Every structure is written in C-alpha cells, then in structure tokens.
Chains A and B, each alone.
Chain A
Amino acid sequence: MRGLPSLVGAALLVCSPATAGEIAELGCMQNSYSASEKGQLDSLMAEYQSGGPNRSEAFNAIFELVSKGLEICTAQHEWTDRESTSALSYESDRLALNGLLRQGMLDPGVTAKVDTALAVGNRTDLWDAVAYQGLAGHTGAEIDRFVAELGFASDTAKAQQVRNYLKILSGLRASTRTFTMR
C-alpha cells in the first residue's frame, strides 16, 4: 500500500490549486500525534468505521485526540478560525481515508485508477455531482459516467468504492480551498 500522506497529497495536487507547502501545513495535525496516539487512532477508526460495539467510545476518544492535535497546530501556525476549521475538516477526511484503506474497504488499485483519471481535465461537473450527493437537482449521472469510464460499471463493489473515494476527495478539496484563501 502506498503511504497515505503521499497519496492524499498527490490526489490533492492533481485536483486543487494548493501548493505542496500549503498541503504540508494543512496536514500538520497528522504529525502532531505521538507514535502511540497514531496507533490508537488507527484502531479507534477501525472500530468507528466498522460499526463495532464500542463505536460510541471510539467516537469520543477520536474527538479527544483530534481536538488535542488541533490545539497544537493552531498554536504552532497561529491559524485563524477559518484555517483551524478547514484543517480539522481535512484531518477528519484524511483519517477516514486512512481507515478505509487500512481495513481493506478501499482498494489501492481503485484509488490509483481514480487519481489517474482525475488528472485529465478539470472535472467540474463531476465534483459538483459529488458535492451535492444527489441533491439540488443533481442526479448523480456524472458520477455514473465516471464509474463507467473507469471500467467499473458492472462491478458494484468497485463502483461503490469509487463513490466513497470521490466523496472523501471532495471533502479534502473543499477544506484545501478554504484553507488556502489567505
């Protein structure tokens, strides 16, 4: 499996105007955890995402760790409220993506194919469709076309993985756009 930071960074560099430096600062929170906290976060995310019996405790523990990381990075970079909020949103999506990959709920082969396809053109209609998630008159047809373009139209499981991955990337893009509005 590829390293997650580089995966997220590569995907974002492809689909947003953020610089590598901005993405590095935005990713501050992931470097704020100790090795033991990183391990805890991995197992907590597994519990949270898989709907295990201790999901509620996992939510609260994740909240504690992420809030602590936010405090550290806000102080370190003197983030404004807007920057803090977007960094937190970015971190929550990064953790979600990391968790899905670790638990085998996202196939790295699928994400790689998506990343390659996203590098072509600006995909405005696709991102709008993902952001609205079937609301505001968006039917999701653009997402279906994208899934077909990747060759997964008849593979329900992989098609769903593409949708899940796009949702997370859409969140990461929105956080990055807000964070870089300086």
Chain B
Amino acid sequence: MRAFIFPGQGSQKVGMGVDLAAASEAARDVFGEVDEALRQNLFALMREGPEDRLTLTENAQPAIMANAIATLRVLERDFGVKLLETANCVAGHSLGEYTALAAIGAFSLTNTARLLKLRGWAMQAAVPVGEGTMAVLLGADIEQAKALAEAAAQGEVCEVANDNDPSQVVISGHTAAIERAVALTKEHGIKRGMILNVSAPFHSSLMAPAAEKMAHALAATPPGALALPLYANVTAAPVTDPDEARALLIEQVTGRVRWRESVLAMRADGVDHFVELGGKVVGPMVSRTDKEAQVTSLVTLADLEGFAKEIA
C-alpha cells in the first residue's frame, strides 16, 4: 500500500517551483490559479524572494501548498501517474493536511489557497509578536517532552505541538515558558533544545482565536467528499467523513500534530511506501520513525520521471 504525504511549514525556500513552472504548463496553471485566488503575485515571491517575506506564515502556507499541488499535477498530467490510482491514503503535516485534502479533491485549489492565507493571517494575529514561540527538542521522545513542558509551564502555556519522529518533538507556548523549557532540557535527559525562528506559537492553546476564525471559514467552505482516507494530525487515525475532517482541521489549529503516530498507524494499516510531494521534510521523519518503510521524495522533474518509471 502507498501513502502520498505533504509537507508543512519550514519546507519553503526561494526558488521553489521554478523548475517545474519552466518545464510544465500543469505547474504554471497551478501557480497562476493560486495567484488569482489570493490577488497576489505569490509565485514571484516564491521565485525571487525575499526569503523573509516568503517565510511569513501567510505567504509560506499557500506557497508550500501550491508547490506540492503543482508537483502532483505535473506527475498526473505530464507523467500519467494518477494519485487516485496510485495511492491508498494521504496525510499532511499541519498545513499539509489542507494540501492533502486538495489533492484528493475535497477542496478546490482556489479555496485551499484562500483558507491557508486566512489560516496564516489568523495564526499570526492570534498572539502579539514576541509573546509566543516554539522550540525543537532533539533527542527527545514524546514522554520526555511532555514532562519537560509540564515542568516549564509554571502557569503559562507550554505544550507539545509536534510529535514528528522518535527523536524530534516541538513544543510551543509563551516565550518565557519555552525559554525555561530549553534551559531545562539536559535535566530531562534531552540532548538539545533550540528556539525556532517562528513568528507565533503554532499548535498551542494560544492559537484559540485562530481556531475560532477557521471554524467560521470552514463552515463556509467545508471539505467535500474525500476520495481517499486522510490520516488526521490530531487523531493519528484515518478519516473519510467530510464533517469529521472539517472538525479535525479546526482542532488542529490548537492541537498537537501527531505525525509519528500517524506514520505508525499507516504502517499498521499496511502502508509500506510513503511518497512525499513538493518537499523532503516529512519523508525523512517517516524514515526515522520506521527504518523499514520505503520513502520517496518528489521535488524535481527527475524525481517525478524516476517515480513514474518505478511504478509503471
């Protein structure tokens, strides 16, 4: 069985999608539609930067989605590999969950772009700049990270935001609490903690106002039928019901991304091949979670051509 998986924030870089757009009309169509949906020349920002503007949450989220969907459309249109005939399920890391839903036809590309733009705006605006941050804990498992977060909270928000793989957990919350957590890493047997260069404490309780805004937006533009099961971030379990998928997208804004558990759940359900589209971020997390899993990352045209030949 095969899962198509989609990256989250952090995979953006200046130059993303440029080669695909130069080589394929299918990719150009995607970037054009996203630009039109957002009333913004997002593709120019992806092509030329500056990097600090591309990294802004409100730009990075739709850009990463556009790049992944462009990769998928090139695979489908130019190489004849159809997602619905090739994959058994999908999953995406954080914003990648919206990309996954777009990939299986539950959201239109225009609505996905707009929902992600709104999500980026809402998440950025939920907490005044400087009041919240995130930190990656290297060499930490989920139990160590939970204990550390609890010890560092001291009445503030300090929560496990992403359980990425057995050696990488991300915490999120009030800046002072996250700084305390990083200072306490050694005491908790964790190799290293590093504050991340992010503008807001994503996937924490501090994002509650953003969840509220997304609840309204998703009520207006709910996902349609899911053509394949989606392994949801907050439950690490498959979902096929659009109403449930919508509720989980709202919960995801403040909830933990249980990526490691999602990978294990897909493995337990028979997935042995994970194909990451538009990045090389979540694929390595899969490899670190289960060394036996086959992982393919599709970023370049050569990657797509190689994959098409492999599964022919």
Contact = CB atoms under 8 A, between A and B. Distances in A.
Contact of A174 (B58, B110, B128, B216): B128
Interface size class of A (residues with CB under 8 A): 20 to 34
A178 B128 contact: yes
B39 A71 contact: yes
B22 to A, nearest CB: 28
Contacts of A58: 220
B129 interface: yes
Contacts of B118: 63
Majority secondary structure of chain A interface residues (helix, strand, loop or mixed): helix
B219 A89 contact: no
Interface string A78-107: 000110011011001000100000000000
B126 A68 contact: no
A167 B212 CA distance: 9
Contacts of B130: 181
Most chain A CB within 10 A, of B56, B58, B205, is at: B205
B122 A51 contact: no
A136 B157 CA distance: 6
A146 B211 CA distance: 23
A181 B121 contact: no
Interface string A50-94: 010001101110011001100100000000011001101100100
A88 B118 CA distance: 10
A86 B220 contact: no
B40 to A, nearest CB: 8
Given A64-B39, A167-B212, A55 B125 contact: no
Contacts of A56: 111, 220-221
A131 interface: yes
A55 B219 CA distance: 8
Interface residues of B: mostly helix, strand, loop or mixed? Answer: helix
Interface in B24-42: 38-40
A132 B219 contact: no
A133 B129 contact: no
A132 B208 contact: yes
B205 A85 contact: no
Given A81-B56, A135-B205, A59 B125 contact: no
A55 B220 contact: yes
B293 interface: no
A156 B141 CA distance: 45
Contacts of A59: 114, 217, 220-221
Interface string B148-186: 000000000101000000000000000000000000000
B102 to A, nearest CB: 15
Contact of B209 (A64, A68, A88, A170): A170
B125 A89 contact: yes
A89 B121 contact: yes
B124 interface: yes
B196 to A, nearest CB: 18
Contacts of A81: 53, 56
A91 B9 CA distance: 26
A177 interface: yes
A171 B56 contact: no
A178 B129 contact: yes
26 contacts: A48-B220, A56-B111, A59-B217, A63-B118, A71-B39, A81-B53, A81-B56, A85-B121, A85-B124, A88-B125, A89-B122, A131-B206, A131-B208, A132-B157, A132-B206, A133-B211, A136-B157, A136-B159, A136-B205, A171-B125, A171-B209, A174-B125, A174-B128, A175-B125, A178-B128, A181-B130
Given A63-B118, A67-B40, A133-B208, 14 more contacts: A56-B220, A67-B39, A82-B129, A85-B58, A88-B121, A131-B208, A132-B206, A135-B254, A136-B204, A136-B206, A174-B125, A174-B128, A174-B209, A178-B128
The 9 closest A-B pairs by CB, nearest first: A89-B125, A135-B205, A136-B205, A59-B220, A133-B208, A55-B220, A178-B128, A177-B128, A67-B39
Interface of B: 38-40, 53, 56, 58, 110-111, 114, 118, 121-122, 124-130, 157, 159, 204-206, 208-209, 211-213, 216-217, 219-221, 254
